[in-house]
């Protein structure tokens, strides 16, 4: 588009007719709607913050301020401000409050979970076993037909076992949560929501776009200054009838988003500025110059106010940097559908919905009730005449119950009370921030102009022959000044008289500036800062500015109470994120259905089959539960502290502590702590059983060793007894032989046998003595064996008692 191209100063007087047949909604109809939507800039001033107010707020956030707006406060005498020793600037006292809230927001746990909506009647009937059986059959067929090893088949079958207890709803919810968690991490939505929360605090609005671009689900932040709406006065952007986003993008980014719809001629135009490929025009030439480029930002805001005059003439197809204008719009149109009543094979009455082209089968008893419902459609205009992405929005989140209800790609919240004008936290603090800037400037001016005080001395008293500069230097360096009171006054009515009196110094003290004014402005700045903190709910105690005299309880109470003032912003954001993630999940379902390969690396076999082969997954309504209260943050801190105590008490491991520190969910922390405690409990139980087994084995070994030792001792004793018996017998034999020999010497005879047993009586008596000794020795040995057996029995009995006691304690440990 060249600079002499015609510019549409005003759009269509009325929006094109929407209650039309699908056949009449052709390309030309879509282009007319987009051209009309391009020119609506006056519709949203009743509720949404106007362009100039939002621009001012974002300038203040960047410490940019227009000094001309404050000339009547800082320059009532119309002086040349450039010549003054101080310059008026925005200090940004309110930015520290916003930074603190953004910092607190970034540390909050942003938990979410998708689940089937209770309003999804189709989802409720899906609990029947038919779909579950079909899903199981699909998965088993995949496992059996794929050329995989037997081990891999067994592994997949084991994974499949856990889904046997799940119904169709459970698997759908698990799949949806996996998709949502992956995309949340992949697109770094934490950082995106941080930026939108800052938009809420600064501009009073937070808006995201959720769509499918280039086959990928996308959620991106929308600049609140570039989005306009028409219809309704709700605080939710998606409740509007027409939504228009206006901005500039690089050529490469446009091609990335619309590569599958741009023609070769379109890309040629984007790169060169003309559709003629033979042109030598380079990128960046022949571009329109915006009003901001021509007059500057401050002047342009005074000349043109978007949203107020309804004239957006400040930019053309390209800006001075070569970026191309991209206008996205979506609006509600009307579509004709019919509610069909028919009879199935069993003769039962059934109902479903058909489009306007359906032919009624009256001979089969069908009846159709025709009605008009809303349908969200979209279109994108690139530069001046490239129209792409025109048609119904396939991921419009159509309700399974209300066929007229849908959600556009734009999700946003504006902070309005009772549908009044939008008010951001910056708007609340802005008057005091301006007062702070004015007081800060005046204090700076007072400091710059304050020179202290000096003494004014009669110049006639300077001794003759002294140069004034030399005299001042001498007084400054040596701290001594010579005066001559007898010097003659050369001019004036006192001409000829002495300039002073002898031994008397006549000088006047002249102050330059008032230090009391500096102190007054300093006190005023402190008062403004304190009042600003009260209004914003971010006092000095919450920022860490604590005095030594303040009690800990009072400080904690102040921090807690002021957090209630700012909790409103977190509640608004939680509701916004709930709706945004719900819409984003709809875009993910559509994108994963169109591109099944995208889910191959994040879904298991069951989830992949669910997405690819079952339309019920994409047709289901999902709600997203958001938890982001201060109570959750406190609970997270408490669980984190408990995890450290669990590590010290042996209820968790260092690895669990690291994983808990990296987790983002309170449920995940509690689940991990419970699993870790159960795992450690099992390990301790196994350790106890192992120790008991080791003790039993040690006792058995000890018993066996004792028995072996006892047997060895008995064998040794037997050997000792045998030796002793031999010694005794030998001694007795020797003694007998000696006695016989003695008797022989004494002449006694040994052939007497009084008992007629064939043995000499003397020998008989000796044998009786030997037998008596043998019996006594045998009795002593038997008594030793008996005492040893008693000791062994007592030891075995003690070991068995320990085993019985250990077996009784084992069930208690479980």
| pLDDT over 80 at 173, yes or no | no
Residue with tokens 């001395």: 457
Higher pLDDT among residues 765 and 101, named by residue: 101
pLDDT value at position 333?
Answer: 93
Q: What does the pLDDT read at residue 6?
A: 34
CA-to-CA dists, residue 131 to 38, 126, 176, 209, 590, angstroms: 47, 7, 17, 34, 20
- Look at residue 580 in the predicted model and tell me its pLDDT: 93
Q: How confident is the model over 754-789, as pLDDT tens digits? A: 556 666 656 666 666 666 677 777 777 777 777 777
pLDDT score recorded for residue 469: 82
How does pLDDT run across 504-515, given as a tens digit for each residue?
666 666 677 788
pLDDT at 7: 34
DSSP output for 308-357: TS----S--SB-TTSPEEEEEEEEEEEEEEEEEEEE-TTS-EEEEEEETT
Show contacts of 120-125: CB within 8 Å, 24+ apart. 120/400, 120/401, 120/620, 120/621, 121/400, 121/401, 122/400, 122/616, 122/619, 122/620, 123/169, 123/172, 123/400, 123/620, 123/621
- Give residue 384's pLDDT: 86
Q: Which of 234-248, 311-325, 739-753 has the lowest mean pLDDT?
A: 739-753
How far apart are alpha carbons 631 and 404 in whole angstroms?
38
- What angle do the packed helices 150-161 and 129-145 form, to 10 degrees? 170
pLDDT (average), residues 305-325: 60
Q: Which two tokens stand for residue 203?
A: 């501009």
pLDDT beyond 70 at 712: yes
pLDDT for 601 beyond 70: no
pLDDT average, residue stretch 783-796: 75
Which residues have a Cβ under 8 Å from the Cβ of 125 and sit 6 or more positions away? none
Q: What is the pLDDT of residue 392?
A: 92
Provide φ and ψ at 209, rounded to 5°.
-110, 125
Q: Percentage of the chain with pLDDT > 70?
A: 64
Residue 381: is its pLDDT beyond 90? Answer: yes
Cα distance from N-terminal residue to C-terminal residue, the chain: 80
Choice between 259 and 814, residue whose per-residue pLDDT is larger: 259
* 3-class secondary-structure state, position 507: strand
pLDDT band at 531 (very low <50, low <70, confident <90, very high): very high
Pairwise pLDDT comparison (5 vs 323), residue with the higher score: 323
On whether the CB atoms of residues 340 and 364 are closer than 8 A, the answer is no
pLDDT in tens, 3-13: 333 333 343 34
Answer yes or no: is pLDDT of 391 > 50. yes
pTM for this structure? 0.68
Query: What percent of the chain has a predicted confidence (pLDDT) above 90?
Result: 21
pLDDT band at 669; cut points 50, 70, 90: low
pLDDT at 204: 92
Bridge partners, 243 (sequence order): 229, 330
Identify the weakest region by mean pLDDT among 45-54, 231-240, 273-282, 372-381.
273-282
Contact status, residue 261 vs residue 245, Cβ threshold 8 Å: no
The pLDDT score that the predictor gives to residue 189 is 93
Contact indicator for 38, 402 with CB cutoff of 8 Å: no
Q: Which of 792, 627, 808 is nearest to 708 (CA)?
A: 792
Is residue 446's pLDDT more than 80?
yes
Confidence (pLDDT) at 650: 66
Query: pLDDT tens-digit profile of 258-268?
Result: 888 999 999 98
Least confident of 88-92, 94-98, 407-411, 627-631: 627-631
User: Where is pLDDT greater, at 723 or 569?
Assistant: 569
Q: Which residue has the tokens 């819409």?
A: 583
Tell me: the pLDDT tens digits for 69-81?
Answer: 787 777 777 777 7
Q: What value does the mean pLDDT of the chain take?
A: 75
541 vs 97: which has the higher pLDDT: 97
Q: How confident is the model at residue 233 (pLDDT cuts 50, 70, 90)?
A: confident
């Amino acid at each position: 588009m060249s600079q002499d191209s015609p510019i549409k100063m005003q759009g269509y007087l009325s929006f094109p007719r929407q209650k039309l047949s699908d056949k009449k909604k052709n390309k030309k109809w879509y282009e007319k709607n987009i051209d009309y939507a391009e020119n609506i800039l006056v519709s949203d001033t009743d509720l949404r913050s106007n362009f100039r107010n939002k621009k001012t707020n974002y300038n203040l956030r960047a410490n940019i301020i227009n000094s001309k707006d404050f000339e009547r406060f800082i320059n009532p005498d119309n002086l040349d401000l450039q010549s003054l020793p101080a310059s008026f600037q925005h200090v940004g006292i309110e930015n520290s409050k916003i930074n603190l809230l953004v910092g607190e927001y970034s540390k909050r746990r942003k938990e979410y979970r998708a689940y089937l909506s209770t309003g999804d009647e189709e989802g409720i009937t899906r609990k029947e076993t038919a779909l579950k059986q079909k899903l199981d059959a699909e998965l088993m067929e995949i496992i059996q037909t794929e050329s995989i090893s037997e081990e891999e088949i067994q592994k997949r079958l084991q994974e499949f076992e856990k889904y046997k207890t799940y119904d169709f709803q459970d698997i759908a919810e698990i799949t949806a949560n996996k998709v949502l968690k992956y995309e949340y991490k992949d697109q770094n939505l934490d950082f995106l929501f941080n930026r939108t929360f800052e938009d809420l605090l600064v501009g009073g609005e937070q808006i995201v776009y959720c769509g499918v671009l280039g086959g990928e689900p996308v959620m991106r932040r929308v600049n609140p200054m570039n989005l306009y709406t028409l219809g309704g006065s709700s605080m939710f952007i998606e409740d509007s009838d027409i939504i228009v986003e206006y901005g500039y993008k690089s050529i490469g980014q446009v091609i990335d988003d619309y590569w599958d719809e741009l023609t070769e001629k379109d890309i040629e135009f984007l790169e060169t500025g003309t559709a003629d490929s033979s042109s030598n025009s380079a990128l960046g030439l022949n571009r329109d110059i915006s009003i901001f480029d021509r007059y500057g930002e401050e002047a342009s805001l005074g000349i043109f106010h978007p949203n107020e005059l309804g004239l957006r003439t400040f930019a053309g197809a390209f800006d001075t940097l070569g970026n191309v204008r991209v206008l996205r719009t979506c609006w509600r149109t009307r579509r004709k559908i019919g509610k069909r009543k028919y009879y199935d094979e069993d003769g039962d009455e059934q109902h479903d919905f058909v489009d306007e082209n359906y032919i009624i089968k009256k001979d089969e008893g069908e009846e159709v009730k025709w009605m008009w419902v809303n349908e969200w459609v979209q279109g994108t205009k690139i530069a001046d005449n490239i129209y792409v992405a025109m048609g119904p929005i396939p991921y419009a989140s159509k309700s399974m119950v209300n066929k007229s209800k849908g959600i556009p790609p734009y999700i946003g919240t504006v902070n309005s009370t009772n549908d009044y004008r939008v008010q951001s936290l910056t708007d609340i603090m802005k008057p005091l921030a301006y007062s702070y800037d004015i007081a800060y400037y005046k204090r700076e001016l007072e400091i710059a102009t304050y020179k202290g005080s000096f003494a004014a001395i009669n110049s006639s008293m300077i001794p003759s022959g002294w140069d004034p500069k030399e005299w001042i230097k001498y007084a400054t360096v040596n701290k001594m000044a010579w005066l001559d009171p007898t010097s003659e006054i050369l001019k004036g009515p006192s001409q000829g008289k002495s300039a002073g009196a002898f031994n008397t110094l006549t000088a006047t003290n002249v102050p330059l500036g008032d230090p009391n004014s500096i102190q007054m402005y300093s006190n005023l700045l402190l008062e403004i800062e304190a009042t600003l903190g009260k209004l914003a709910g971010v006092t000095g105690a919450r920022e860490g500015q604590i005095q030594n005299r303040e009690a800990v309880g009072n400080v904690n109470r102040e921090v807690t109470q002021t957090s209630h003032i700012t909790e409103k912003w977190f509640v608004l954001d939680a509701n916004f994120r709930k709706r945004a993630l719900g819409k984003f999940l709809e875009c993910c379902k559509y994108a994963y259905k169109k591109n099944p390969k995208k889910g191959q690396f994040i879904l298991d076999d069951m989830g992949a089959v669910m997405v690819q082969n079952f339309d019920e997954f994409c047709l289901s309504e999902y709600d997203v539960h958001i938890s982001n209260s201060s109570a959750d943050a406190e609970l997270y801190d408490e669980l984190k502290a408990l995890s450290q105590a669990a590590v010290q008490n042996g209820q968790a491991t260092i690895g669990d502590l690291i994983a808990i520190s990296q987790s983002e969910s309170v449920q995940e922390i509690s689940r991990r702590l419970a699993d870790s405690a159960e795992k450690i409990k099992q390990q301790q139980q196994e350790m106890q059983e192992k120790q008991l087994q080791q003790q039993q084995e040690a006792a058995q070994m000890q018993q066996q060793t004792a028995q072996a030792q006892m047997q060895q001792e008995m064998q040794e004793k037997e050997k000792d007894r045998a030796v002793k018996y031999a010694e005794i017998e030998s001694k007795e034999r020797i003694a007998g032989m000696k006695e016989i020999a003695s008797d022989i010497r004494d002449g006694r005879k040994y052939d007497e046998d009084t008992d007629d047993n064939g043995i000499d009586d003397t020998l008989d008596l000796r044998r009786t003595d030997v037998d008596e000794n043998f019996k006594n020795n045998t009795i002593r040995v038997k008594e030793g064996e008996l005492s040893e057996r008693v000791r062994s029995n007592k030891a075995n009995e003690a070991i068995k008692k320990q085993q019985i006691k250990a077996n009784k304690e084992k069930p208690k440990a479980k």
